[in-house]
Amino acid sequence: MKVFLSTDMEGTAGVVAWEQCVGDGPQAEAGRRLLLAEVNAAIEGAVAGGATDVVVNDSHSTMRNLPADRLAGGASYVSGAHKPLYMMQGLDDSFGACLFVSYHGSVGAAAGLSHTYNPNAVIEARLDGRVTGEAGINALVAAHYGVPVVLVTGDRCACDETAALIPGVHSAVVKEHVSRVAAHSLHPELACELIKLQARAAVQTAADAPPPRFDPGVLELSVRTTDIAEAASWVRGVDRTGPRELRIHGDTHLGTYRSFCAAILLTRTVAEIR
């Protein structure tokens, strides 16, 4: 079975500050070591559960956070910025399972380092009326290709938000919210043990897990300024429904996701204007 693994970073046990997630300083290097251990735990669990091929998509920041030669299980590595399918690049209908590792809660939620793709632009995202974070948005791609999302790891909020949209998903909660820049984390070794255990169980049962079901799969966004909303509405499939409200609906779930990514990319410069 081929397994796809999309990894973020803010949901890693022990990571509580942006300095641990970006740049090349000593804190960022330490954060990447913690992330690598959790990714490898998920790979090892997936292989123990029956995975024969694991593809890791590095989805955080510059998307080159992991040393390719230190990935476990002979996993291949999708890295680098400006991927057409962003956090889901590499997924297609040949995969039997999808894993989300080190995910975080949505913007505005009680979660550490909470945001939804671009914290300078998005105030809230809703999928078919339910508040969602990046896991739910990314699951649109899995739904399009008919691949079950069987595992999410990260903070409590990320796991709960994912389970609300994808019933039956396995979860590995590695830290609890204290504030947006503080958390109570499991010891990294225990976090990795939990991730490995849940990844194994998730992949073992993936053949019986359905892909995400979204009907109609409409994504709604509340954004920070009217200028952001105006620029986003230039993208095909994005309608402006209020001064700072957007409705994104493609011909397919993949089309919706691509329109969302295009809107996020297009509005980055506008969103940085204070």
Active site residues: 115
Q: CA-CA distance, 192 to 195, in Å (whole number)?
A: 5
Q: How many C-beta atoms lie closer than 10 Å to residue 56's C-beta? A: 27
The two beta strands, 219-223 and 245-248, are antiparallel
DSSP-based three-state secondary structure for 124: strand
Residue entry with tokens 């920070």: 224
Identify the bridge partners of residue 173 per DSSP, sorted by sequence position.
154
The tokens describing 147, both together, are 């691949």
Residue 9 CA, distance from chain mean position: 9
Look at the alpha carbons of 26, 32, 34, 37 in this order and tell me if their dihedral is positive or negative: negative
Q: CA-CA distance, 145 to 110, in Å (whole number)?
A: 31
DSSP-based three-state secondary structure for 107: coil
- Give the residue from 234, 72, 253 showing the smallest Cα distance to 147: 253
The two beta strands, 97-103 and 149-155, are parallel
